[in-house]
Amino acid sequence: MTTGKRTRLRRKKSKKSKSRKRTCRKRLLFQRYNYNHILRANSRGSRKTSTKMAQIQEYQDLVLDALDTVEFKLIRDKADINNDAIIFHPAMAHQIFGESETIFGYQGLHVRVLYTAGPLHIYLGIEYEKRVNEISGGEIKADDVVATIAQSLPDGCYFINLDEFLKTLDKADKFQPFGEKLSEYTRTADDGSERLFEIYQCDYKMSSFLKFFARLQTFILWFVDAASYIDTDDAQWCYFICYEKYKNKDGQYQYATAGYTTVYEYYAYPQNKRPRISQMLILPPFQKLGLATQLVETIYKFYQSQKNVVDITVEDPSEDFQRLRNFVDARLCLELKSFARDEIKKGFNKEMVREAREALKLNPRQVRKIYELLRLYYTNVHDEKEYKVYRLEVKKRLNAVYYKQIKDLQKMERYKMDTEMLRARLPNTKQRMEQLQEEYVLIEQDYKNTIDKLRA
């Protein structure tokens, strides 16, 4: 991974070139579209498959990219209904429309998914210029977009009548955050104004909150890969919600939902718990404001004060979240005695694990990562001897699993066991050295990116 910008020669594209590019894009989308789905949905009587396919081929321009046609808005007042400046699009759509992420059968399609900014009441609707149903004389039917999206929403949590949806907007000024306020902080907007954010903690005991959360977590299907709704009936879930507190046109304070994190509190013997951060999502209009960092730090403070918390872990973190976690943890560990420059240079030790666990509730594996990160932070990379010591230490940790596998095979061979197939799956020494170097380069670059943030 590199952070440098690529420079490339650019030439002005002709209108013909742009047109050719759009045509290729449409063909690609059509190839990705599920032909069998169209045929099953539209086949009638004894018509031959080849005839039906030929008809469908004629309408390949009506296969649309869902990532472009689906439009989200967070509505603060009625004027936002027609304000296209606040539109944002999904990051993915395969969890709604299938792997092709396409919608069939429309010209000029706009799929409108509107949320009231605070309570998150939902409106689903579509606008289009033409539909294949009419163009084909009823031979072929367009996808039922609203029904497809609705299948993924909790029952009764959306409107298909815009007037009914707008009635909920009239009551949105009365919306208040659920639960207990844990923290607040300000961020400077692009126009220089101050924006105020507040983070609240809530649990399953409030039924009104669970209905609100059911609407909130519908966003994950569009922005988190392999996402699924959590079971809100499970009392072990803990919820952290971030809101923006803003003034409406009448000068009154209102709240807009900005993001959330869920934490599952696992049991730990004998009467302890191990919180595991599960899902985190900052809605696109609120990204790049440091909200995710504030959420993580707020969660840490919430659990660090509880004596029965063993440590805080993360469930299958994405690469982006792991970088965020490393940044937060490294910044906190810089304040610990065992992570001072002189102590770091002595090498990794149990005191680091003990202090980080007691003070910050970090688990041993994460402590080791932060040690490596801060060791690089203090290492003079221009001193070849010092830099080499650092690289060898990290590579030794990365290679530990491979060495264990080799030792296990040697042990099996001493007992005359057949290890031929197992050895065939392992890289030879040269291959492993190349793999190790690649692994190290990626990790070091990640560490350097985090160090740049720490020093900013």
Is 442 a member of any domain?
yes
76 and 118: one domain?
Answer: yes
Is 28 a member of any domain?
no
78 and 210: one domain?
Answer: no
pTM value is 0.85
Boundary-marking domain end, from 120, 147, 175: 175
Domain hosting 228: range is: 176-316
Q: Is 447 helix (H, G, I), strand (E, B) or coil?
A: helix
What pLDDT was estimated at residue 23?
52
Boundary-marking domain end, from 152, 175, 198: 175
289 and 378: one domain?
Answer: no
Q: Give the distance, in angstroms, between the CA of residue 422 and the centroid of all CA atoms in the same chain.
A: 37
What pLDDT was estimated at residue 136?
87
- 436 with 391: CB under 8 angstroms? no
Alpha carbons 64 and 87: distance in angstroms, whole number:
18
234-264 core/surface letters (b: 16 or more CB in 10 A; e: else) = eeebbbbbbbbebeeeeeeebbbbbbbbbbb
99 and 198: one domain?
Answer: no
What pLDDT was estimated at residue 59?
83
Dihedral in degrees, nearest 10, Cα atoms 202, 204, 205, 208: 80
> For residue 141, which amino acid is it?
K
The DSSP secondary-structure symbol of 268 reads: E
Is 447 a member of any domain?
yes
184 and 311: one domain?
Answer: yes
- 327 with 454: CB under 8 angstroms? yes
Is 46 a member of any domain?
no
Query: Residue ranges for the binding site for acetyl-CoA?
Result: 287-293
Q: Is 315 a catalytic residue?
A: yes
261 and 302: one domain?
Answer: yes
| Strand pairing category for 70-75 and 110-116 | parallel
Q: Is 180 helix (H, G, I), strand (E, B) or coil?
A: strand
Burial bucket for residue 407 (CB in 10 Å: 0-12, 13-18, 19+): exposed
Residues in the chain: 456
Is 9 a member of any domain?
no
Full 3-state SS string of the chain: CCCCCCCCCCCCCCHHHHHHHHHHHHHHHHHHCCHHHHHHHHCCCCCCHHHHHHHHHCCHHHEEEHHHHEEEEEECCHHHHHCHHHCECCCCCHHHHCCCCEEECEECCEEEEEEECCCCCEEEEEECCEEHHHHCCCCCCCCCHHHHHHCCCCCCCEECCHHHHHHHHHCHHHCCCCCEEEEEEEEECCCCCEEEEEEEEECCCCHHHHHHHHHHHHHHHHHCCCCCCCCCCCCCEEEEEEEEEEECCCCCEEEEEEEEEEEEEEEECCCEEEEEEEEEEECHHHCCCCHHHHHHHHHHHHHHCCCCECCEEECCCCHHHHHHHHHHHHHHHCCCHHHCHHHHCCCCCHHHHHHHHHHHCECHHHHHHHHHHHHHHHCCCCCHHHHHHHHHHHHHHHCHHHHHHHHHHHHHHHCCCCCHHHHHHCCCHHHHHHHHHHHHHHHHHHHHHHHHHHHC
Boundary-marking domain end, from 256, 282, 316: 316
275 and 377: one domain?
Answer: no
- CATH of residue 163's domain is 3.90.360.10
Q: Is 353 helix (H, G, I), strand (E, B) or coil?
A: helix
- CATH of residue 220's domain is 3.40.630.30
Question: How confident is the prediction along the chain (456 residues), in pLDDT tens digits per residue?
Answer: 333 332 222 333 344 444 444 455 555 565 555 444 555 455 544 445 555 556 667 788 899 999 999 999 999 999 999 999 999 999 999 999 999 999 999 999 999 999 999 999 999 999 999 999 999 888 889 999 999 999 999 888 899 999 999 999 989 999 999 999 999 999 987 778 899 999 999 987 788 899 999 999 999 999 999 889 999 999 999 999 999 999 999 999 999 999 999 999 999 999 999 999 999 999 999 999 999 999 999 999 999 999 999 999 999 898 999 999 999 999 999 999 999 999 999 999 999 999 999 999 999 999 999 999 999 999 999 999 999 999 999 999 999 999 999 999 999 999 999 999 999 999 999 999 999 999 999 999 999 999 999 999
- 32 with 103: CB under 8 angstroms? no
270 and 159: one domain?
Answer: no
Query: Residue ranges for the binding site?
Result: 287-293
The DSSP secondary-structure symbol of 337 reads: G
Is 39 a member of any domain?
no
| E strand or H helix that includes residue 36 | helix 35-42
58, 127, 315, 438: which one is catalytic?
Answer: 315
209 and 237: one domain?
Answer: yes
Alpha carbons 104 and 98: distance in angstroms, whole number:
12
Domain count for the chain, please give it.
Answer: 3
Q: Give the distance, in angstroms, between the CA of residue 42 and the centroid of all CA atoms in the same chain.
A: 36
Q: What does each C-alpha distance from 24 to 54, 67, 98 come to in angstroms?
A: 19, 17, 21
CA-closest candidate to residue 224, choices 275, 278, 298, 281? 281
Is 428 a member of any domain?
yes
Is 333 a member of any domain?
no
183 and 219: one domain?
Answer: yes
What pLDDT was estimated at residue 51?
59
108 and 162: one domain?
Answer: yes
161 and 203: one domain?
Answer: no
Q: What does each C-alpha distance from 142 to 104, 112, 243, 333, 445 come to in angstroms?
A: 6, 17, 39, 57, 48
CA-closest candidate to residue 112, choices 82, 142, 132, 141? 82
